[in-house]
Structure 1
Amino acid sequence: MPSPNIEGQQRGYVIPIGGAEEKIDNPEILTRFVELAGGADAVICVIPTASQLDDTGERYEKLFQELGAGKTISLPIRERSDAQNNEYVEQLLTCTAVFITGGNQLRLSTILGGTPIAKTIRQINAKGVHVAGTSAGAAIVSQHMITGGSTGIVPTEDGVNLAPGMGLINTVVVDQHFNQRNRLSRLLSAVSYNPFLVGIGLDEDTAAFIDENNEFTVVGSGAITIVDPADIEYSSMADARRGDALTLLNLKVHILASGSRYNISTRQAFA
């Protein structure tokens, strides 16, 4: 389920970023994130768990401070025992925004899954705290998380690997580095399993700023590919053998550049 709705409160933004977001010349995405977090009054908690580089958290701390954030805290969660740390939970409860870095999304799910840290992130998002994630951090915001799969255009029966994500939003499946790594086939494979899902393919340096009404605006230098299978007329997935190419009839695809919008609930796109 998505972050639970709390009467009288608006859910915070959920902001998946396609990875390789611009950090120096025109950091449009990160600047907007800092502004949403409160600017000079922002308290941003960085979760560098997906990365195996020791300085990832420190680099984002410095970056957000340079962009005008009032305070940035990196939580060094490297093992499941760290995700049980009450001090880290208390720090999350004071923040106005959370940023989950890139790396390996299975590190995120296996280290954070079911822990007080993951539960707290969901709870504070429901109370209005914004949660952004880049690359692996983008993949885990959805309930169904892509962990690997084929490259190319044509979907196949075994074209994608899925694992449970954090579930901040449960009606989409997110892929990142989308155009740069030619990942259309695995997103098509993912939505073919169940047309309930909307596929969101994020190019690098591109983000979906998803508001409390499940409508998002595209921000960044690339595009977002939307795969909407709601009106699909036929899928060969159930009869396909391992490795077979799939037949999918009447899929809807949108390509949305900066400034375009999409409503996930109504499945409407706006230029």
Structure 2
Amino acid sequence: MPSPTIKGTTRGYVIPIGGGEEKFENPEILAKFVALSGGTDAVITVIPTASQLDDTGQRYQKIFEEIGVKKTYSLPITERSDAQNADYVKTLEKSTGIFITGGNQLRLSTILGGTPIAKTIRQLNAQGVNYAGTSAGAAIVSQHMITGGTTGIVPTEDGVNLAPGMGLINTIVVDQHFNERNRLSRLLSAVSYNPFLIGVGLDEDTAAFIDHNNEFTVVGSGAITVVDPSDIEYSSMAEARRGDALTLLNLKVHILAAGGRFNIGERKAYVN
């Protein structure tokens, strides 16, 4: 569950990005994240844990500085002991925006899960600090995190692998590089387990800016695929054998390009 808000505060944005975001010529998504986090007065902390490249944190610091941010930090958290570091927690607490890079989401969950750093991220977001994550950093926002699965269109009984995420939002399950890597089948498989979940498939260079009212706006050059199983009449998941294709009746699917909106609580899509 997300951390509870404190009276008088508004939860910060949660911004999952589908990966491959434009960083130089027109960094629309990153620039909007910066603007919401204070513009030139923003304090952006980068957590590059998912990546195994030594310079990932520094590269994103430079990108944010070129957008106009005066103060940036990168926390070199590469093992669980680093995520217990009190100095890193103090640095994180200075943030108006937190950014988690791409890479391997299981590195994120196994290194950050249950640590003071993860707890602080959740608490800060509840207190108004914005969170953005790209690729692996997007997948981990969910309570139920997709870690792998099959490609294609047709969902199957064993079509998705799930693990606990950070739980910044518990009503959606996020997948990334969605259209580029043909991941509809694994998102359908994920929501077929329980119609409580809404599937959100993010194309590259595309983000969902989820506000404190649990409504998101699409920003970027691609689209977001929303799979809403709330009115599903039948799922064969419970009877399916390993590898079987699934039958799913009365499933809603929305495709939202830039400017499209979706209210998660009302489960309703809008266009401007």
Question: With structure 2 as the length reference, what TM-score do the two structures score?
Answer: 0.99
How far apart are 1:8 and its partner, in Å?
1.4
Matched with 1:94 is: 94
Matched with 2:175 is: 175
Matched with 2:185 is: 185
CA contact (8 A) 1:49 1:76 kept: yes
Matched with 2:254 is: 254
Alpha-carbon distance in structure 1 between the residues aligned to 2:142 and 2:56: 23
Matched with 2:140 is: 140
CA contact (8 A) 1:143 1:173 kept: yes
Secondary structure at 1:94 match in 2: coil
How far apart are 1:167 and its partner, in Å?
0.3
Secondary structure at 2:123 match in 1: helix
Q: Which amino acid aligns with 2:59?
A: R
Would you say 1:106 and 2:106 are equivalent positions? yes
CA contact (8 A) 1:177 1:202 kept: yes
Would you say 1:40 and 2:40 are equivalent positions? yes
Superposed CA offset, 1:242-267 (max 9, x none): 00000000000000000010000100
Alpha-carbon distance in structure 2 between the residues aligned to 1:69 and 1:34: 7
Matched with 2:54 is: 54
Alpha-carbon distance in structure 2 between the residues aligned to 1:80 and 1:60: 22
Matched with 2:230 is: 230
CA contact (8 A) 1:50 1:104 kept: yes
How far apart are 1:24 and its partner, in Å?
1.3
Would you say 1:4 and 2:4 are equivalent positions? yes
CA contact (8 A) 1:39 1:70 kept: no
How far apart are 1:25 and its partner, in Å?
1.5
CA contact (8 A) 1:3 1:169 kept: no
CA contact (8 A) 1:208 1:217 kept: yes
Secondary structure at 1:199 match in 2: strand
CA contact (8 A) 2:24 2:63 kept: no
**Count of residues in correspondence between the two structures:** 271
Runs of 4+ in structure 1 deviating by more than 6 angstroms, as ranges, are: none
Question: With structure 1 as the length reference, what TM-score do the two structures score?
Answer: 0.99
CA contact (8 A) 1:263 1:269 kept: yes
How far apart are 1:130 and its partner, in Å?
0.2
Alpha-carbon distance in structure 1 between the residues aligned to 2:51 and 2:263: 32
Matched with 1:18 is: 18
How far apart are 1:5 and its partner, in Å?
2.2
Alpha-carbon distance in structure 2 between the residues aligned to 1:18 and 1:3: 24
Matched with 1:78 is: 78
Q: Which amino acid aligns with 1:84?
A: Q
Secondary structure at 1:34 match in 2: helix
Q: Root-mean-square deviation (CA), in Å? A: 0.5
Alpha-carbon distance in structure 2 between the residues aligned to 1:245 and 1:78: 39
Alpha-carbon distance in structure 1 between the residues aligned to 2:105 and 2:200: 17
Secondary structure at 2:238 match in 1: helix
